[in-house]
A and B are shown apart, each in its own frame.
Chain A
Amino acid sequence: AQTVTQSQPEMSVQEAETVTLSCTYDTSESDYYLFWYKQPPSRQMILVIRQEAYKQQNATENRFSVNFQKAAKSFSLKISDSQLGDAAMYFCAYRRGGAQKLVFGQGTRLTINP
Chain B
Amino acid sequence: GAVVSQHPSWVICKSGTSVKIECRSLDFQATTMFWYRQFPKQSLMLMATSNEGSKATYEQGVEKDKFLINHASLTLSTLTVTSAHPEDSSFYICSARDRTGALNIQYFGAGTRLSVL
Binding site for B on A (CB under 8 A): 33, 37, 42-47, 50, 91, 95, 100-102, 104-107, 109
Contact = CB atoms under 8 A, between A and B. Distances in A.
Contacts of B44: 45, 91, 104
Interface of B is mostly: strand
Contact of A43 (B43, B103, B111): B111
Interface in B13-60: 32, 34, 38, 41-44, 46, 49
Contact of A102 (B38, B41, B106): B106
B95 A43 contact: no
A92 to B, nearest CB: 10
Given A33-B104, A43-B111, A100-B97, 18 more contacts: A42-B110, A43-B91, A43-B93, A44-B111, A45-B95, A46-B108, A47-B1, A50-B103, A91-B43, A95-B104, A100-B49, A101-B34, A102-B34, A102-B46, A102-B106, A104-B43, A106-B42, A109-B41
B116 to A, nearest CB: 19
In the complex, the 8 A-B pairs of residues with the closest C-beta atoms, listed nearest first: A45-B108, A44-B110, A104-B43, A43-B111, A106-B43, A104-B44, A107-B43, A100-B32
Interface residues of B, number: 23
Contacts, number: 43
A103 to B, nearest CB: 8
B108 A44 contact: yes
B105 interface: yes
Interface of B: 1, 32, 34, 38, 41-44, 46, 49, 91, 93, 95, 97, 103-111
Nearest to B103: A50
A106 B43 CA distance: 5
A24 to B, nearest CB: 15
A1 B51 CA distance: 23
Nearest to A46: B108
Nearest to B108: A45
Given A45-B95, A100-B32, A105 B43 contact: yes
Contacts of B43: 91, 104-107
Query: Which of B43, B93, B95, B110 is packed against the most chain A CB atoms within 10 Å?
Result: B43
